[in-house]
């Protein structure tokens, strides 16, 4: 195992906020990149004001949500609307490899800090822009966050039952999966290209297009010419497939039978005579009787504890899982703690705080998570002194003038 991480020596100037961008830069930081988060007390990252909150009264330093998305980063406080802030950013750009931002198109340019201006001082800079609907087109200036993006890309319409209103995804799926991962992949590709050619480049990542890229029903609609309808927890190629009640208060199990072998396992585990009948031995037969099968299965599951259902079906080779709540994920039953999926780090305001650990596990360079999320502006003086060579009096002048607000 090497002590050097894959992205050691890469510095990221991070203007992203809320979800997709910070998750992406967190991944870069976990694998060795030095990430400097630029934020301002006059308009802080909205996630700092988003619960759940640790006990206390500080309005900006107790968000568990913010903490989990921003470990391994430094934070500098900089009011980008102040005229003197531009020079600070340009100087930071000269010593950075990547600049990432997730503002509406034109925002960085308004401050004269767009791609053209930054590459004048750092020609090989990699510049990542993550606008919601791209930097061109009739909707490019529309603002929004994960919730509006879920609606815009069609996910809201796909989630729920056909006779009820759309319910959405519960969490902002685009923020957590496609957009940060596409961003990281693009940055890594650009870093590789720069290593080979010496050239930086601009990356435009439309969060809408990034999300649509991994939505199966959208691809189906494009291929077949018709839009799929929401169908609860069902899918077209598996019966039964869904979430079924278990004994207890609001307890559930997810069961998915994908082929005939798994169906035979389910029939054996339940002991239901109807499940052993020839008429349901094929997918076509099961599909024709989907309502009946799922109703009978629900009757069987509702009499058993969820862990007992899971144990029986696992032994029979049937894909199954207890529907876990957030608290259970931290407990032993989920198996995540045993795998080291969580880290506890001492936060200066929140105290010992649980973070999700680095997910990809490289055998030689496994990544790191040893620094909690920063307080707003916590490393301002250190960054300005160590990276830009500013004196104490220089920094005091900026602070007195309201630049470091």
Mean pLDDT for the stretch of residues 319-343: 89
Per the residue annotation, which of 14, 45, 97, 175 is the catalytic one?
175
Question: How confident is the model at residue 109, as a pLDDT?
Answer: 97
Query: Between 4 and 291, where is the model more confident?
Result: 291
Which structural domains are found in the chain, ordered by start? 11-214+360-400 (3.40.50.10540), 241-329 (3.30.1540.10)
Question: How confident is the model at residue 179, as a pLDDT?
Answer: 94
Question: How confident is the model at residue 213, as a pLDDT?
Answer: 87
Query: Between 36 and 225, where is the model more confident?
Result: 36
pLDDT > 90: percent of the chain: 81
Phi, psi dihedrals of residue 274, rounded to the nearest 5°: -65, -30
Give yes or no for residue 334 having a pLDDT over 90.
no
Question: How confident is the model at residue 254, as a pLDDT?
Answer: 99
CB 129, CB 203: distance < 8 Å: yes
Mean pLDDT for the stretch of residues 385-399: 98
| DSSP code, position 99 | E
Provide the 10 A C-beta neighbour count for residue 350. Answer: 20
Give yes or no for residue 37 having a pLDDT over 70.
yes
> pLDDT digit string (tens) for 23-33?
999 999 999 99
What is the dihedral sign for C-alpha 188, 220, 167, 140? positive
> pLDDT digit string (tens) for 162-206?
889 888 787 788 888 899 999 999 999 999 999 999 999 999 999
Q: How confident is the model at residue 291 (pLDDT cuts 50, 70, 90)?
A: very high
Residues 6+ apart with CB under 8 A from 355: 67, 68, 71, 342, 343, 344, 345, 369, 372
> pLDDT digit string (tens) for 53-85?
999 999 999 999 999 999 999 999 999 999 999
278 given a catalytic annotation: no
Phi, psi dihedrals of residue 287, rounded to the nearest 5°: -60, -40
Q: Name the average pLDDT for the chain.
A: 94
Question: How confident is the model at residue 44, as a pLDDT?
Answer: 95
Give yes or no for residue 368 having a pLDDT over 80.
yes
Q: How confident is the model at residue 269 (pLDDT cuts 50, 70, 90)?
A: very high
pLDDT > 70: percent of the chain: 99
Question: How confident is the model at residue 263, as a pLDDT?
Answer: 98
What's the Cα-to-Cα distance from 361 to each of 69, 187, 198, rounded to whole Å? Answer: 18, 19, 29
Is pTM, for the whole model, over 0.85? yes
Give yes or no for residue 52 having a pLDDT over 90.
yes
What is the dihedral sign for C-alpha 19, 112, 10, 389? negative
Question: How confident is the model at residue 1, as a pLDDT?
Answer: 52
Give yes or no for residue 2 having a pLDDT over 70.
no
Residues 6+ apart with CB under 8 A from 340: 357
Listed range (143-147, 210-214, 328-332) with the worst mean pLDDT = 143-147
Question: How confident is the model at residue 114, as a pLDDT?
Answer: 98
Q: In 3-state terms, the chain is what percent helix, strand and coil (to 5)?
A: 40, 15, 45
**CA dist., res. 234 & res. 294, Å (int):** 10
């Amino acid at each position: 195992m090497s002590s050097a991480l894959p992205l050691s020596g890469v510095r990221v100037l991070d203007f992203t906020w809320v979800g997709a961008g910070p998750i992406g830069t967190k991944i870069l930081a976990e694998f060795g990149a030095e990430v400097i988060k630029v934020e301002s007390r006059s308009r802080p990252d909205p996630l700092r004001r988003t619960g759940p909150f640790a006990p206390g009264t500080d309005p900006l330093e107790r968000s568990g949500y913010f903490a989990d998305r921003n470990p391994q980063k430094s934070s500098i406080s900089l009011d980008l609307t102040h005229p003197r802030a531009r020079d600070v950013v340009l100087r930071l750009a000269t010593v950075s490899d990547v600049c990432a931002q997730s503002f509406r198109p034109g925002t960085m340019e308004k401050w004269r800090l767009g791609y053209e201006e930054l590459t004048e001082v750092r020609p090989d800079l990699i510049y990542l822009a993550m606008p919601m609907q791209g930097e061109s087109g009739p909707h490019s200036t529309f603002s929004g966050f994960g919730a509006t993006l879920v609606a815009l890309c069609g996910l809201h319409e796909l989630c729920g039952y056909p006779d009820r209103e759309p319910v959405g995804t519960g969490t902002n799926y685009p923020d957590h999966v496609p957009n940060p991962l596409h961003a990281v992949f693009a940055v890594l590709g650009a870093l590789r290209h720069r290593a080979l050619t010496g050239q930086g480049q601009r990356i435009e990542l439309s969060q809408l297009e990034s999300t649509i890229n991994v939505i199966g029903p959208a691809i189906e609609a494009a291929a077949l010419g018709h839009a799929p309808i929401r169908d609860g927890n069902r899918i077209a190629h598996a019966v039964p497939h869904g979430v079924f009640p278990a004994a207890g208060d609001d307890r559930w199990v997810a069961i998915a039978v994908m082929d005939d072998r798994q169906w035979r396992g389910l029939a054996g585990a339940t002991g239901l005579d109807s499940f052993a009948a020839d008429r349901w031995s094929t997918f076509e037969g099961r599909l024709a009787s989907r309502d009946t099968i799922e109703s009978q299965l629900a009757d069987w599951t509702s009499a058993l504890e969820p862990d007992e259902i899971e144990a029986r079906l696992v032994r029979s080779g049937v894909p199954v899982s207890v529907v876990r709540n957030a608290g259970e994920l931290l407990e032993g039953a989920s198996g995540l703690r045993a795998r080291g999926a969580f880290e506890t780090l001492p936060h200066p305001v929140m105290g010992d705080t649980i973070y999700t650990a680095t997910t990809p596990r490289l055998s030689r360079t496994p990544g790191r998570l040893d620094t909690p999320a920063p307080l707003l502006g916590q490393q301002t003086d250190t960054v300005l002194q160590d990276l830009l060579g500013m004196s104490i009096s220089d920094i005091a002048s900026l602070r007195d003038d309201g630049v470091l607000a």
